[in-house]
Structure 1
Amino acid sequence: MRVLLLAHSFNSLTQRLWVDLSELGHEVTAEFDVNDAVTLQAVKMARPNVIIAPFLKRAIPESVWKNHLCLVVHPGPPGDRGPAALDWAILEGHQDWGVTVLQAEAGMDEGPVWASRTFPMRLATKSSLYRNEVADGAVEAVLDALSRLQDQDGPVGRPPLAPFKPAVKQAERAIDWTRDDTAAVLRKIRSADGTPGLLDNILDRSVYLHDAHAAAGLSGKPGDLIARSGHAVARATTDGAVWIGHLRAREAHALKLPALDVLGPQDHLPELPGYHDIWYDERHGVGYLHFPFVNGAMSTDQCIRLREAFVKATQRPTKVIALMGGPDFWSNGIHLGTIENALSPAEESWANINAMNDLTREIITCGSHFTLAAMQGNGGAGGVFMALAADLVAAREAVVLNPHYKGMGNLFGSEYWTYLLPRRCGAENAQRVIEARLPMGTEEAERLGLIDCRFGQSVPDFVKLVEEMAEALAADPALDERLAAKRLSRTADEAEKPLDQYRAEELEHMKLNFYGFDPSYHVARYNFIHKVPKSRTPLYLARHRRKG
């Protein structure tokens, strides 16, 4: 079928649908919903059998939905209506929720239902639920709806409509620090994380709260800042405290940053353990290194600390190191937010890419351990190539990879990709991957050799299987022989062309990206970080426009 994805942006759900529908052989193209005229033109050019709207911020033009089947993905159960379904579900403490594929009509979310799915609610942020449970359910429901369309079955019916719920106002989820317990505070912050964040006041500054976690064992006067841990701060609730990892000032062009980067040094607060963005545990001959960085972004400081943690892990009496990333993201490479916030974004870009390279090199050259990259969540840009530095790359079935840099202002990229990618995919496929600018599912990634295996639908299932795999590797009598062969292979590769040469060649290109006359990278980074809407759809997505 010819499928037109009509979306506000190429967000995580839109990418999932692009990948899964393409893998099934559908002819997929996409258009950003810029205005009515552009949408009408796209429909005329694409001549779709069906229009799927996974993520919109305004209504589909009447002339489109009246003349074409338009299926809208709504992140709520059948009958639910309104633009903030998931926000309300978290705020109201629902135990179960759903996602519905319905036909666009005049009334918002009032059309006939074509398919739906339900899921249990985790104690998680809105963005995490959207990226996982909602996305999984949406893909299943969309495929169900397309199957009904192909079989000419039509929609399943019209459920009773619940009262329409508008967008959540900040006052409706404001924290009352003198009355709210930890569970209530976390529920309110999670309902707004990551967009728009929960508006609050800290030290007489209006800020949006993000990245909140229960602070076990801490307490104090409700509302007071009582501790710090790394760049996070702890704030007391009525029955304990919460760690707040990131803040965004309520100011024009302000960025989401580590809390103390926004508040400034709070040296009077005691430094206590509790907030961790990197941790290590060890079982049955396997070291597990976790790094669930917010949005998968890795700042210079985080790269340095992760490298130090990896080196320490190699000094343990284990045989296997499993690099676990985080449940939502594996890694998306350098931290564009801290770069944008720096006094010199070019200098910080250079520092960040070199710190990322130092980490990647440690993984490549590790001869003492078998390394396993366990991609629980999505990965992009340099984060994907960092994974390729491991001896074995495993990915969860639903993970989406973006193994390219060029969408960020024609960035060349580093992380030794010119060594790692051809070695896995071959020179021709490596060039195709890096030029494509398109998301890739695990099925295609496995075919290309980008990953070695894929399994597990949910994060817990994937982690359990990774642990079984890692422990089996650690117990394998042949592992010492594999490690010896690995060291010999690395020595041969180094003799043929040193890693330093790959790095130097890549960084020559990056130096031009960061310091050269072409500002494309800096413009693209600014637009990405500040969520500047696209004025047009890139041709690699708008395939219907390439035909024209």
Structure 2
Amino acid sequence: MTSPRIIFAGTPEFAATALQALINQQFNIIAVYTQPDRPAGRGQKLTPSPVKSLALEHGIPVEQPLSFKNPEDIARLAEYKADIMIVAAYGLILPQAVLDLPALGCLNIHASLLPRWRGAAPIQRAIQAGDTETGITIMQMEAGLDTGPMLLKTSTPIQDSDTGGSLHDRLADMGGEAIVDALNKLDTLTPELQDSNQATYASKLHKRESAIDWSQSAESIVRNIRAFNPWPGTSGICGKDQIKIWEAEAISAAHEHLPGIIISRQSGGIEVACGQDILLIHKLQLPGAKAMAVTDFVNGNQSKLLPGERFNPVSPESGD
């Protein structure tokens, strides 16, 4: 088929990676839709999304409607006469009137192997649940939340070393490759209906999830540490200090300590009792300091995180 007229809708870096892949392959991107500029940084200066910045760099028209509730915004979209709309982490719900506009419909780049992990945070929830595999699904969009027919899937193992950040970056690259592949094969792809009985929901991440519940198993805590790196992170309070924990491992060992009790403190790691087994902390961050290996922490801090002291859960933070 001739190169379709494409509208790309997306906002964060994950989406920008896919847009770059389409640009590299010289697809006909006639416009980009992205979220309005948001305040960012200490100065709270209005900042364009990664997708907007990339589009402007390549001279692609940018649209930033607050929503599609206004008929004028739908009329503006219709003026582009797009053949297809590619959606990746856009952040707006597309009403049926929008889904019906492109001649070939709307395709979504979703960072999971649907129907598992429909929803906002599929990358982090997959790690948190202990999944051993995830991937990218290219899906024909419909009104339901990530419920549309699947056109193409590509998978990747989740390694024990993967964090939310590392898996995000890998899946972003895979998403770009998958949408290019799907567009090149569009005439021959066969839609596959999802089995909703197998569906799981990946709820949005919240700051309050950063609080470590020491009554959980060490393995569950480790998965949270990996999943919530880099955001919202994981932390616990010991004394007056809120300690962020960036790397740890679960040690299978019985103990009789209360959850959160520090069992030992040495250069090889800090052992903390959990509801089941022991958490061995390898990398942490003190308030106002940079993240550091436990070896450096032990050498430079003689009065913090001592055996017998206890971590308490972090109080839930306000906001999302």
Q: TM-score, normalised by structure 1?
A: 0.39
**Which of these residues, 3, 6, 10, is aligned with residue 6 of structure 2?**
3
Unpaired runs of at least 5, structure 2: 37-65, 307-320
Q: Which residue of 2 aligns with 1:50?
A: 84
1:121-520 alignment to 2 at 5 Å? 121-123=158-160, 124-132=162-170, 134-149=171-186, 151=187, 153=188, 155-161=190-196, 162-167=198-203, 175-177=212-214, 180-181=217-218, 183-198=219-234, 200-204=236-240, 209=244, 211-214=246-249, 223-224=260-261, 227=265, 234=270, 236-237=272-273, 238-246=277-285, 258-259=290-291, 266-269=301-304
Report deviation, 1:143.
Answer: 1.9
The answer to which structure has the higher strand fraction is: 2
Using the alignment, how far apart are the partners of 2:289 and 2:101 within structure 1? Answer: 46
| 8 Å Cα contact 2:34-2:90 kept in structure 1 | no
| Higher relative contact order structure (alpha carbons within 8 Å, sequence separation ≥ 6) | 2
TM-superposed CA distance for 1:128, in Å, is: 0.8
Deviation string, structure 1 residues 104-133 (Cα, Å, up to 9, x no partner): 21100111112111111112111211111x
Flag the 1:74–1:259 CA change in 2: closer, same or farther, 3 A.
same
Distance 1:78 1:245, change over 3 A: same
Match of 2:35 among 33, 36, 45: 33
CA RMSD in angstroms comes to 3.7
Deviation at 1:188, TM superposition (A): 1.3
Q: CA deviation at 1:164?
A: 4.2
Report the secondary structure of 1:36's partner residue.
coil
Q: Which residue of 2 aligns with 1:357?
A: none
The partner residue of 2:156 within 119, 143, 150 is 119
**Runs of 5+ consecutive residues of structure 1 not aligned to the other structure:** 250-255, 272-548
Structure 1 residue identity aligned to 2:9: L
> 1:200: Cα distance to partner?
3.8
Deviation at 1:39, TM superposition (A): 6.1
Deviation at 1:102, TM superposition (A): 0.8
Question: Are the aligned partners of 2:107 and 2:138 in contact in 1 as well (CA < 8 Å)?
Answer: yes
8 Å contact from structure 1 (residues 74, 100) kept in 2: yes
Corresponding residue SS for 2:119? coil
CA contact (8 A) 1:227 1:234 kept: yes
Provide the rounded CA distance (Å) in 2 between the counterparts of 1:169 and 1:23: 32
Secondary structure of 1:130's partner? Answer: helix
* Cα distance between partner residues in 2 of 1:87 and 1:203: 30
Percent identity between the aligned chains?
21
Instruction: Note if contact 2:88-2:108 (Cα within 8 Å) is conserved in structure 1.
Output: yes
Q: Partners in 2 of 1:39 and 1:227 — Cα distance?
A: 60
Question: Residues 227 and 8 of structure 1: is their aligned pair in 2 closer, same or farther, counting only changes over 3 Å?
Answer: farther
Shift in Å at residue 240 of structure 1?
Answer: 4.9
Give 1:196 deviation, angstroms: 2.4
Aligned partner of 1:36: which letter? S
Q: Which has the larger radius of gyration?
A: 1
Matches of 2:239 and 2:73 in 1, distance apart? 46
Question: Are residues 1:65 and 2:106 paired?
Answer: no
Give the number of equivalent residue pairs: 248
Could you report, residue by residue, the CA deviation over 1:226-266 in whole angstroms, capped at 9, with x for unpaired residues? 6598xxx946244351134347x8xxxxxx96258xx9x84
